[in-house]
């Protein structure tokens, strides 16, 4: 059965297939800005995309899926953070990249196959090249200060994704209020491709496109340039949180399609926000929780993952601590259930309805519902092999409750990854991670239904 997923551009459920039959399916997911810890709102988007990645791998085979997620490591926020802390931009972004990776591991999110950084010299050159392409084709112009802007009126397709025209607004009018980087633009809707250096940018500047000043790329160009360099001019699936639909993704389409002269993404997927008391969880509202905040309240990262999957990804989800209590208890039930199962021997796949729910527009709450219907039936139709396959698709790891484990978060994260590798029968990775644990002074004791961590004997 094929995966059906809502496409934000055509506004309908469409089957996912690679452009070439039996070709590699290419998947680009906009990544984090690395200047602070990501909050669990951000992680709702990344966890949902992780289940999508796992589903794609089941559908097309792991070797036939290529997943790219970028790191935004140069923009106003990262530069400001470096300036405020008196550190280099690289120091700051490396620190928060490492933290992001540790949190992703704790949430059992598979690392993307490639994770390009906007400030990587190779990718900076690609961004400059793309801007020069847009200048040559008349889709961009330089301003007196040496910045470069995209000329929105030069791209008739602008607004197709976000329907700005259907909302009976001039694109310019709709965008004017959102455009903070306004000074010398010809039209309020135009957006920056290259930002000329300003004293606030400190040492962070690079050679610009021809005829432009030294400076740095605008945010939108990084995804257009890096997805092209790694995945090609047309990608099969592009995703992100719903706040990126406009203007970020609209701008990515404009840049890529004007430069490459071909469709940028064949399918667009946007997941909805995590809310707190009815408002989007965000740094600016100060209503956020990080994984560490929740760990100090005694909640495991796996409970957070479960809670984030308990709502339909295309509907807003209100976050509560009660949902984490419910998630811990659901994980406990699953763990106890697994211990009752025979290792193997059941011939038909009793968990097929769980997978079917995921294949129907990534309906994670329906999948969890179907899973619990089977668990509660206790009819002896399941075995651990089929149960573990479905846990793997959801990315759930049934380690014992980490509240009882005093290992530091980074050790716990390695242990979770090793357990996942073991369940996936990737023994080479599991062995390598066991060595990493030993180097950190911990040993991992495996049991049938999970593991525990103990300080390694000297
Ligand atoms: P950022 O680091 O701000 O670029 O955001 C990284 C990802 O998190 C983007 O895909 C955003 O759409 C997403 N995001 C931000 N806030 C939330 C939220 N409250 N709920 C779900 N996703 C979010
Ligand atoms: Zn992007």
Strands of 215-217's sheet, edge to edge? 140-142, 148-150, 191-196, 215-217
Enumerate the domain spans of the chain.
18-271, 284-394, 409-455
The topology (CATH level 3) of 18-271 is Rossmann fold (3.40.50)
CA distance 190 to 111: 35
Which ligand has the shortest distance to the CA of 72?
1
Q: Is the CB of 308 under 6 A from ligand 1?
A: no
Q: Locate the ligand 1 atom nearest the alpha carbon of residue 281 and give its number.
A: 19
For residue 62, the 8-state DSSP code is G
Distance 428 CA to ligand 2 centre (A): 34
CA distance 98 to 106: 12
Distance 346 CA to ligand 1 centre (A): 41
Q: Is the CB of 71 under 6 A from ligand 1?
A: no
CA distance 117 to 413: 23
Query: What φ, ψ does residue 332 adopt, rounded to 5°?
Result: -60, -45
Task: Read off the tokens for 255.
Answer: 């840049």
- By the 8 A CB rule, do 112 and 29 touch? yes
Q: Locate the ligand 1 atom nearest the alpha carbon of residue 272 and give its number.
A: 21
Task: Give the closest residue (by CA) to ligand 1 atom 6.
Answer: 32
Per-residue pLDDT of the chain (458 residues; tens, 9 = 90+): 899 999 999 999 999 999 999 999 999 999 999 999 999 999 999 999 999 999 999 999 999 999 999 999 999 999 999 999 999 999 999 999 999 999 999 999 999 999 999 999 999 999 999 999 999 999 999 999 999 999 999 999 999 999 976 654 455 544 544 444 445 789 999 999 999 999 999 999 999 999 999 999 999 999 999 999 999 999 999 999 999 999 999 999 999 999 999 999 999 999 999 999 899 999 999 999 999 999 999 999 999 999 999 999 999 999 999 999 999 999 999 999 999 999 887 777 899 999 999 999 999 999 999 999 999 998 878 999 999 999 999 999 997 644 444 677 788 889 888 988 888 888 999 999 999 999 888 888 887 667 877 777 65
Distance 257 CA to ligand 2 centre (A): 15
Domain 18-271 shares a fold with domain 284-394? no
Distance 241 CA to ligand 1 centre (A): 6
Of the residues 37, 38, 41, which should be mutated to test ligand 1's pocket, given the most ligand atoms within 8 Å of the CB?
41
pTM over 0.75: yes
Q: Is the CB of 42 under 6 A from ligand 1?
A: yes
Distance 260 CA to ligand 1 centre (A): 28
Nearest to 161 by CA among 222, 245, 257, 242: 245
CB-proximal residues (5 Å) to ion ligand 2:
30, 223
Residue with tokens 């290419």: 26
Q: Is the CB of 249 under 6 A from ligand 1?
A: no
Name the CATH code of domain 284-394 (choices 1.10.275.10, 1.10.730.10, 3.50.50.60, 2.70.98.60). Answer: 1.10.730.10
């Amino acid at each position: 059965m094929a995966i059906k997923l809502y496409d934000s551009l055509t506004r309908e459920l469409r089957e996912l297939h690679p452009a070439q039959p039996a070709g590699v399916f290419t998947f680009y997911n906009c990544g984090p800005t690395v200047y602070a810890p990501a909050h669990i709102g951000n992680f709702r988007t990344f966890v949902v995309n992780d289940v999508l990645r796992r589903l794609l791998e089941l559908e097309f085979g792991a070797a036939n899926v290529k997943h790219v997620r970028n790191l935004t490591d140069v923009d106003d926020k990262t530069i400001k953070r470096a300036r405020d802390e008196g550190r280099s931009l690289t120091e700051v972004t490396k620190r928060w990249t490492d933290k992001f990776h540790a949190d992703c591991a704790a949430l059992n999110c598979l690392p993307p196959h490639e994770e390009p950084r906007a400030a990587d010299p190779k990718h900076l050159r690609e961004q400059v090249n793309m801007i020069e392409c847009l200048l040559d084709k008349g889709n961009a112009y330089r301003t007196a200060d040496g910045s470069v802007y995209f000329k929105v009126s030069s791209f008739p397709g602008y607004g197709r994704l976000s329907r700005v025209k259907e909302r009976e607004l001039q694109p310019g009018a709709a965008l004017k209020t959102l455009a903070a980087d306004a000074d010398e633009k010809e039209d309020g809707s135009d957006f920056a491709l290259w930002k000329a250096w300003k004293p606030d940018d400190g040492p962070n500047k690079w050679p610009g496109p021809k005829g432009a000043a030294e400076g740095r790329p605008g945010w939108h160009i990084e995804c257009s340039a890096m997805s092209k360099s790694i995945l090609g001019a047309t990608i099969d699936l592009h995703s992100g949180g719903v706040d990126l639909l406009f203007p970020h993704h609209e701008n990515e389409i404009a840049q890529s399609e004007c430069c490459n002269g071909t469709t940028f993404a064949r399918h667009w997927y946007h997941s909805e926000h995590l809310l707190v008391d009815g408002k989007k969880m965000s740094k600016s509202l100060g209503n956020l929780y990080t994984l560490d905040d929740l760990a100090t309240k005694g909640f495991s990262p796996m409970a957070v993952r479960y809670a984030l999957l308990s709502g339909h990804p295309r509907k807003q989800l209100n976050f509560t601590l009660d949902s984490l209590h419910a998630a811990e208890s659901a994980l406990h039930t699953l763990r106890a259930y697994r211990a009752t199962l025979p290792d193997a021997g059941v011939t038909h796949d009793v968990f097929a309805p769980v997978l079917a729910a995921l294949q129907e527009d990534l309906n994670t709450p329906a999948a969890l519902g179907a899973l619990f219907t089977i668990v509660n039936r206790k009819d002896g139709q399941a075995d651990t092999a089929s149960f573990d396959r479905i846990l793997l698709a959801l990315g759930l790891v049934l380690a014992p409750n980490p509240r009882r484990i005093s290992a530091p978060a980074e050790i716990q994260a390695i242990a979770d990854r090793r357990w996942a590798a073991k369940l996936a029968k990737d023994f080479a990775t599991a062995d390598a991670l066991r060595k990493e644990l030993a180097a950190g002074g911990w040993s991992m004791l495996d049991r049938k239904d999970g593991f525990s961590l103990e300080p390694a004997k000297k």
